[in-house]
Amino acid sequence: EAQVTQNPRYLITVTGKKLTVTCSQNMNHEYMSWYRQDPGLGLRQIYYSMNVEVTDKGDVPEGYKVSRKEKRNFPLILESPSPNQTSLYFCATQRGVGETQYFGPGTRLLVL
Amino acid sequence: GQSLEQPSEVTAVEGAIVQINCTYQTSGFYGLSWYQQHDGGAPTFLSYNALDGLEETGRFSSFLSRSDSYGYLLLQELQMKDSASYFCAVRPNAGNNRKLIWGLGTSLAVNP
């Protein structure tokens, strides 16, 4: 079954404690993205990757890092989380630029 | 700048027809996509218009008019399960064309 998985699905943490949200896909897609979703602000892209070892900033990259060492995995790293990073995070994949996006189930993060 | 505008909320009754508009301010793009997102869930792809005109998929249709900088999603025979948020998105064909521009979403409430 084609799927995009994210872990954890829910996370409560404290300011400054480094965390990683994993994203994995089994569709052999080249293009992967991270979004955050906040009420009234829609989906905002954080980072994207067009292939292994190729990443680029989206619209709101500050405070986040990503890596793409393998095609299937695209982790999102918050080195020093702050309360303004409390949000709902989605990983998405697509076969190529311009193709349909497939979203993971989301990770709800609360930073205290 | 490049932006997509959608109404923030739409309300309709079961069995009715509703149209969700998407107007855009962007110089050019490859096509207009629509995604659906239920509360607490992930966005899922609904439709894509590469060319002007109407695309029909069951109860849902999507329309694009590049000359009018306008598109819409038409939902017919509304059901309670259609209550969700609907997002339009485009990929620019100039500038940074490697990522989508998203509307802020329209929250559709279907009442009995």
B31: tokens are: 């096509």
Among candidates B30, B42, B98 on the partner chain, residue whose Cβ is nearest the Cβ of A90: B42
> Amino acid identity, residue A8?
P
The answer to which of A11-15, A98-102, B25-29, B100-104 has the lowest mean pLDDT is B25-29
**B33 contact residues in A (CB cutoff 8 A):** 100
A42: tokens are: 């829609």
Structure confidence at residue A111 as a pLDDT band (50, 70, 90) = very high
**A89 contact residues in B (CB cutoff 8 A):** none
Query: Looking at chain A, which residue has its C-alpha nearest residue B29?
Result: A98
A84: tokens are: 């303004």
Is pLDDT larger for residue B30 or for residue A23? A23
In this predicted structure, what is the pLDDT of residue B91? 84
Q: How far apart are CA A74 and CA A89, in angstroms?
A: 13
In this predicted structure, what is the pLDDT of residue A13? 97
Among candidates B42, B48, B91 on the partner chain, residue whose Cβ is nearest the Cβ of A103: B42
The 10s digit of each residue's pLDDT in B21-78 is 999 887 788 889 999 999 989 999 999 999 999 999 899 999 999 888 899 999 999 9
Among candidates A42, A90, A97 on the partner chain, residue whose Cβ is nearest the Cβ of B103: A42
Tell me which residue has tokens 């702050």: A82
Residues of A with CB under 8 A from a CB of B: 33, 40-45, 48, 50, 56, 58, 90, 92, 97-98, 100-106
Provide mean pLDDT across the span A22-50.
Answer: 95
In this predicted structure, what is the pLDDT of residue A1? 84
Q: How far apart are CA B75 and CA B32, in angstroms?
A: 16
The overall average pLDDT reported for chain A is 95
Helices (H), chain A: none
Cis peptide leading into residue A8 (ω within 30°): yes
Q: How far apart are CA A24 and CA A35, in angstroms?
A: 15
Q: Give the residue among B109, B63, B111, B110 at the shortest CA–CA distance from B88.
A: B63
In this predicted structure, what is the pLDDT of residue B23? 94
Structure confidence at residue A101 as a pLDDT band (50, 70, 90) = very high
A73 DSSP 8-state letter: B
In this predicted structure, what is the pLDDT of residue B1? 61
The 10s digit of each residue's pLDDT in B90-112 is 988 776 677 888 999 999 999 99
Structure confidence at residue B3 as a pLDDT band (50, 70, 90) = confident
Q: How far apart are CA B101 and CA A58, in angstroms?
A: 11
Local structure of A62: helix, strand or coil: coil
Q: Give the residue among B83, B93, B84, B69 at the shortest CA–CA distance from B21.
A: B69
Task: Tell me how close the Cα of B15 comes to any Cα of chain A, in angstroms.
Answer: 28
